[in-house]
Structure 1
Amino acid sequence: MASTSQNRFRRGVFCAPVFFGIYCLASSTGALGDSASSSADTRPRLLETVVVTGTRTPYSLADAPVEVQLIGPEDIKASGARDVAELLEREGGVYASRESGRGTSIQIQGLSSEHVLVLVNGRRMIGRINGAIDLSRFHIADIERVEIVKGPSSALYGGDALGGVVNIITRRGADGEPGGVVTLRGDSEGNGDAFARADLVADSVSASVSAGYSRLAGFDLDDSTFAEDGVSGESSFGSLSGRWQASEGFDLGFDASYSLDDTERRDGGTGGKQYATYKQIEEVRVGVQPRIHFDDSSLTLDMYYNRYADQFLQDQLGSTENTIDEETINELLFGGGQWDVSPGWLNTLPGQHTLSLGAEFQLERLDADRLGQSAERDRQSLYVQDDILLGNERLHLIPGVRFDRDSQFGQQVSPKLSLRYDISDSLFTRLGYGRGYRPPSFRELLLRFDNPAVGYRVEGELDLEPEKSTGFNAGLTWLAGEQHSVSISAFHNDVDDLIEIIQVESTPTILFSYRNVAHATVSGVDVQWTWQGQTWPLRLELGYGHLWSEDEATGDELSGRPEQRVNLAVSLDKPRYSLGLRGTWTGERVFAVELDSGGAPTSAGEAEAYALVDARASWKGFAPLLLSLGVDNMTDAGDPQYLPIQPRSYYLEVSWSL
């Protein structure tokens, strides 16, 4: 952002330099081993990957009693994505889409971003924009894997997890030898990225230090208008994470991160008015996680702090009128613990039992010019879960319940039940049931926002009730030898007291507010097939999802939900090179009126079907140098109203492993 615009913010944003010296540090850590590996080993390694999100306890992916969609390190590397938003836009089983002025939203099982809990290393993220955590703020370069849990099995995570949980897991240090990587990337649209990471090992301590810088080039999908569809600017981040193994019975995880995004864009208003919109987002996260191991149990504690600062400035060009200058500061303080134990008295009952007992406390504060007042809420939570193995370990039963006390909305109880039954060594079924809730956000309760440029006002509603949901999942997975796997899943969600924004006055300024007006049902099926070649390192993935959604009050389908979606991925991984093609086809969507935090509302209408397809080729023959060429958005999809994404672009990426 230009310095002239920075000076107009009422409060300065404290800055931290990006640690480009990491490159020098990484250079001294020694060379990594050859990263090329046989594609035939990919599937066994993937099934052995330990996942933690579904049950809050570790399981290999193949043995997990709750279905977890895993996007692993090799998938992330082959995707060519720059951030989590780009990664999930091309994935099956979830629906992520860009929204003008609102970042990226995500839907899981037909429930919108407000009902999806986004975690980083198991920790709740703050800083929602119009109800959504903008996934483009999480840089791929710092991420090890993404775990997605859908539907009722996420009840143990508490509020906001009606639809599911997205857990973004960052690198936690080297497992063996030290090393590092330096990556440079540029594309035909003028975007650029520089990233460096060092993995360090010293006696009982392992750590990862990383930093990155991105240059964003704006784009415009409609040259006939003044408004732009993409922001331009700069983004930088730095992070440190690791673990200290103090003794056989005690270890300490630690992490800290800082990011700063500085962007601008042209916007249009009513009557031909023109605006320059500037935005500066700064985020700080810091936490520690002590873990104590006993003979038959373990205790994990977690403490962290998250600060999200958003400064928004919108100037009318050629006039001092209709200027918006606002600041939002969102803070979260969290403390919690989980005790995993196999108590002797439970062994008198049938089966093998592992009991998980947890307690959490969180204090959230929001200070925003758009609120009528500063807001603060605290929550205390208790949960218990019993992991039971029965029937020669073929039947896996996990009942659980969570109790939440919210300082604004009182008490909530969220039960859940998960079941897995192994019909044979290669065929198993999973069932899930859960009840969840979502308390109204500060924005829905207290918002006071005037947009004179467009002619509307939004006011919160203090009398809102929490949304409540009941969900069911059923799935069948067949691991047909070492080449094929097929999974079929079905779901149904019933949501009461759904909060929607409605027009309550029409003159002289249009007034919108929030109400508990809707009862919605969402059902669907999802089919995924994977084939892995044995003599030829070729991998195919194909999936199809169908969704039925309905607002019970009107009979209309819910806004922005595609009825059909197809995903496809093809990859060839040879020792000296790799080729990949991945994409999705999304069917038509029907939209209701949606409000933008800066520009004009998105009008109601129907969006056409579209396909997003990316291609990537990598050459490994110059190891430790990796050279990649790629095409993003090969079909040149995009719509300034309903799909404001960057047009087709070509990129070159160079990575050097150290």
Structure 2
Amino acid sequence: MSQHTLFPLIFSVLLVSTQHAAEPEAFELGEVVITANAETGADTMASRISAGSIRKFERNDLSDALRLSPGVVTNSNGPRNESGVYVRGFDLRQTPVFIDGIPVYVPYDGYVDLARFTTADVAGIHVSKGFSSATYGANTLGGAINIVTRKPEKSFEGDLLGGWMQQGGYQSALNAGFRSEHWYLQLGGSFLSVHSYPMSKDFVPTPNENGGSRKNAYRQDWRISAKLGYMPNKTDEYALGYIFQRGEKGNPVYAGTLPAAQQPRRFWQWPQWDKQTIYFIGHTQITKNAYIKERLYFDQFINSLFAYNNASYNTQNPPAGFQSYYDDYTLGGSLEFGTKLSTKNTLKTALHGKFDRHKEHNAGAPYYTFEDTTYSFGLEDTHQFTSRFSTTVGGSYDRRSVIEAVDTNTGAALGGKTFSALNPQIGLFYKLPEHGTFHATIARKSRFPTIKDRYSYRLGAAIPNANLQPEHAIHYDIGYDGDLTKKLSIHASLFATTVDNTIQRVDNVTPGVFQLQNIGKSRNLGTELGFTYKPHSAIEFGTNYTYLDRKNISQPNVKLIDTPRHSLFSWADIRPVEWLSIIPSAEYNSSRWSLTTGQGVGAYALLNLKIAIRLPGQTTLSFGANNLCDRNYALTEGYYLAGRTLFANVQIKF
């Protein structure tokens, strides 16, 4: 056979083999949606990040993946080496994280370190902003983030991922799904390890950090998941899920320019950051138009923090040196009932209850236990007035009671408190023919103060305040989502939020000591603009832009931290031939405050590049660089992030 006939044959084989598998099917039982259309059950409010987008931009953990959503910016709690996000100005205490509708945020402080959650088994991420489903339960002041896991669609399917990153980083993951007529089994495992990360060549050495490889920046994260499902008929489904993750990390030291007396000197390591979640979710169709959805779950968090006195990490003399241990768990459940009262009206109600326990101690010190119970009743009614116009009205009543609390300085038991909040909301939706949907929403949301907010001395820097009351926010949002043409999709939103009873730090309540108090009133104003455009089968590009203006009305001199006024993410996917993708992307964040007293970090722009080659056998090889221009930047003053970082990955679907 001549070369002239062999080349077209090889090229044809490549074309056939590169018709790679579709995105993984989402576990629908794990979704929590607002029914914006009573006839179709459509949900138009949550911003959705697909598994394909996560893989396209090589987002290996949830912190990085969530940056793909408009209105979401990453923050880095540098002194604790934690990654989080702000959703339209609300942090993770105010915008809790769920997996398949199960709350997984830490009971003690309401946060969860998103960098500990790998994305290999994720089918999609739903980000609700402000106007979120009342069936989520309590504490959705800023919205909710729900990670929806995979569900097998075929009798046997899966994928295998392996990768390398500069400075001793590598990852691996395996997902496998099995499905029969009435049963399915989804298995997943992932491992992500980073020895360090390269600092920018523009970094100026400091006494604690000389550049090159970032010191004490290691991490290891294991994650195993399993889900067994039973589908006795076409309407009912029951699933038992289990997730175990094991993590450990170091904390890079402060490398900023504050005066020596003001610099945090934390030589910290976390030998253990472990979570496990066991849950059951069921859907029972009790009549043609009515269903019951059941959720039961147990979520455990075990954590150890070792604080040292020096950069050699070999002495632990108090008070700066210690070993701290947490043993937390949440036990809870919910019952959701939904029915079609008519062809034009859908009603949903949900009752939630959960018990949170936080247990802590330092090595050689007593154990202290804190316990809360939280209940929530939610209701949503959607009425379809015309084929295009519908409304959703509802809300929730939330209640939290303190069962056990203790003063960790004296060991004295503290009296119980009860908090409650009422959260009504309304949404109006108008669907254009063959196009997208306009919406206008108003929602009142609340957040109960966490155990840490109420009772922590914060290593002697704070005075507890057991009398903190819930924060309240009123969200206003108008916008449009949908396809203007077959080639062009648009997202646009104008939003405003007023926050009352903001829990805010008040300095020098006694000399050099602060306290959290309900004195704050603030407001957030902003807009989100985004589009994707595919002018040709060989090219697609998109942009998300967010403008956010936050104002501290009560104390204008106290800065609202961690959120830039402008953030932008732009990308292109260029396919000069069927088997090759060239994917440049750019991120821009304007300056932001890092401390309430006014210190902050400057604006930065990052350029990333990925090249993907689709090989025979549904195999994709990708390589590239993040922060291609080696920009020296930080999200928290003094805690600089990675410079130019090369990577290479291979993914095989089967």
TM-score bucket (shorter structure): 0.7 to 0.9
The answer to whether 1:431 aligns with 2:434 is: no
Instruction: Report the 3-state secondary structure (helix = DSSP H, G, I; strand = E; otherwise coil) of the residue aligned with 2:232.
Output: strand
The answer to whether 1:82 aligns with 2:52 is: no
The answer to whether 1:448 aligns with 2:457 is: yes
1:612 maps to which of 606, 617, 622: 606
Correspondence for 2:383: 388
User: Against the structure 1 CA distance between its residues 634 and 447, is the aligned structure 2 distance closer, same or farther, given a 3 Å change threshold?
Assistant: same
The answer to whether 1:36 aligns with 2:32 is: no
The answer to whether 1:250 aligns with 2:236 is: yes
2:569 maps to which of 567, 570, 574: 567
1:592 maps to which of 591, 595, 598: 595
Q: Which runs of 5+ in 2 are unaligned?
A: 1-15, 255-259, 402-416
Distance in 2, Cα, partners of 1:95 & 1:484: 25
1:259 maps to which of 225, 233, 245: 245
Q: How does 1:462-481 map to 2 (within 5 A)?
A: 462-477=466-481, 479-481=483-485
Instruction: Report the 3-state secondary structure (helix = DSSP H, G, I; strand = E; otherwise coil) of the residue aligned with 1:614.
Output: strand
Cα distance, 1:145 vs structure 2: 0.7
Query: Contact 1:284 / 1:308 at 8 angstroms: preserved in 2?
Result: yes
The answer to whether 1:356 aligns with 2:348 is: yes
Distance in 2, Cα, partners of 1:108 & 1:333: 27
The answer to whether 1:288 aligns with 2:284 is: no
Correspondence for 1:241: 227
Query: Contact 2:96 / 2:110 at 8 angstroms: preserved in 1?
Result: no
User: Structure 1 residues 219-228 or 277-286, which shifts more?
Assistant: 219-228
User: Structure 1 residues 414-423 or 369-378, which shifts more?
Assistant: 369-378
Q: AA paired with 2:389?
A: L
Correspondence for 2:641: 645
The answer to whether 1:169 aligns with 2:161 is: no
Q: AA paired with 1:653?
A: N
Distance in 2, Cα, partners of 1:363 & 1:314: 30
Query: Contact 1:433 / 1:473 at 8 angstroms: preserved in 2?
Result: yes
Aligned residues: 595
Correspondence for 1:224: 206
User: Against the structure 1 CA distance between its residues 35 and 420, is the aligned structure 2 distance closer, same or farther, given a 3 Å change threshold?
Assistant: farther
TM-score normalised per structure 1: 0.83
Cα distance, 1:102 vs structure 2: 4.1
Query: Contact 2:73 / 2:87 at 8 angstroms: preserved in 1?
Result: yes
Q: AA paired with 2:400?
A: D
Query: Contact 1:99 / 1:644 at 8 angstroms: preserved in 2?
Result: no
Correspondence for 1:596: none
Instruction: Report the 3-state secondary structure (helix = DSSP H, G, I; strand = E; otherwise coil) of the residue aligned with 2:628.
Output: coil
Q: How does 1:482-493 map to 2 (within 5 A)?
A: 482-493=486-497
Instruction: Report the 3-state secondary structure (helix = DSSP H, G, I; strand = E; otherwise coil) of the residue aligned with 2:65.
Output: helix
The answer to whether 1:628 aligns with 2:622 is: yes
Distance in 1, Cα, partners of 2:37 & 2:158: 28
CA deviation profile, 1:79-109 (whole Å, cap 9, x unmatched)? 1111111222354321112231241121112
Distance in 1, Cα, partners of 2:648 & 2:476: 45
Correspondence for 1:577: 580
Correspondence for 1:68: 46
Distance in 1, Cα, partners of 2:639 & 2:165: 21
Cα distance, 1:478 vs structure 2: 5.6
Distance in 1, Cα, partners of 2:454 & 2:111: 16
CA deviation profile, 1:552-576 (whole Å, cap 9, x unmatched)? 1233552222111222111135532
User: Against the structure 1 CA distance between its residues 272 and 282, is the aligned structure 2 distance closer, same or farther, given a 3 Å change threshold?
Assistant: closer
Instruction: Report the 3-state secondary structure (helix = DSSP H, G, I; strand = E; otherwise coil) of the residue aligned with 1:361.
Output: strand
Distance in 2, Cα, partners of 1:473 & 1:274: 42
The answer to whether 1:533 aligns with 2:535 is: yes
User: Against the structure 1 CA distance between its residues 53 and 243, is the aligned structure 2 distance closer, same or farther, given a 3 Å change threshold?
Assistant: closer
Cα distance, 1:485 vs structure 2: 2.3
Query: Contact 2:169 / 2:194 at 8 angstroms: preserved in 1?
Result: yes
Distance in 1, Cα, partners of 2:277 & 2:106: 12
Cα distance, 1:624 vs structure 2: 3.1
Query: Contact 1:126 / 1:332 at 8 angstroms: preserved in 2?
Result: no
Q: AA paired with 2:329?
A: E
Taking only the aligned residue pairs, the percentage that are identical comes to 15
Distance in 1, Cα, partners of 2:215 & 2:432: 51
CA deviation profile, 1:1-31 (whole Å, cap 9, x unmatched)? xxxxxxxxxxxxxxxxxxxxxxxxxxxxxxx
Distance in 1, Cα, partners of 2:148 & 2:393: 26
Cα distance, 1:128 vs structure 2: 6.9
Correspondence for 2:373: 378
Instruction: Report the 3-state secondary structure (helix = DSSP H, G, I; strand = E; otherwise coil) of the residue aligned with 1:342.
Output: strand
Distance in 2, Cα, partners of 1:305 & 1:431: 37
Correspondence for 1:189: 167
User: Structure 1 residues 151-160 or 474-483, which shifts more?
Assistant: 151-160
Q: AA paired with 1:186?
A: W
Distance in 2, Cα, partners of 1:237 & 1:373: 29
Query: Contact 1:83 / 1:136 at 8 angstroms: preserved in 2?
Result: yes
Q: How does 1:301-320 map to 2 (within 5 A)?
A: 301-317=294-310, 319-320=315-316
Distance in 2, Cα, partners of 1:225 & 1:80: 34
Correspondence for 1:338: 336
Distance in 2, Cα, partners of 1:109 & 1:517: 21
CA deviation profile, 1:244-301 (whole Å, cap 9, x unmatched)? 1123453211210111112234646969978353441111101111221132211110
Query: Contact 2:390 / 2:429 at 8 angstroms: preserved in 1?
Result: yes
Instruction: Report the 3-state secondary structure (helix = DSSP H, G, I; strand = E; otherwise coil) of the residue aligned with 1:559.
Output: coil
User: Against the structure 1 CA distance between its residues 409 and 492, is the aligned structure 2 distance closer, same or farther, given a 3 Å change threshold?
Assistant: farther
Instruction: Report the 3-state secondary structure (helix = DSSP H, G, I; strand = E; otherwise coil) of the residue aligned with 2:462.
Output: strand
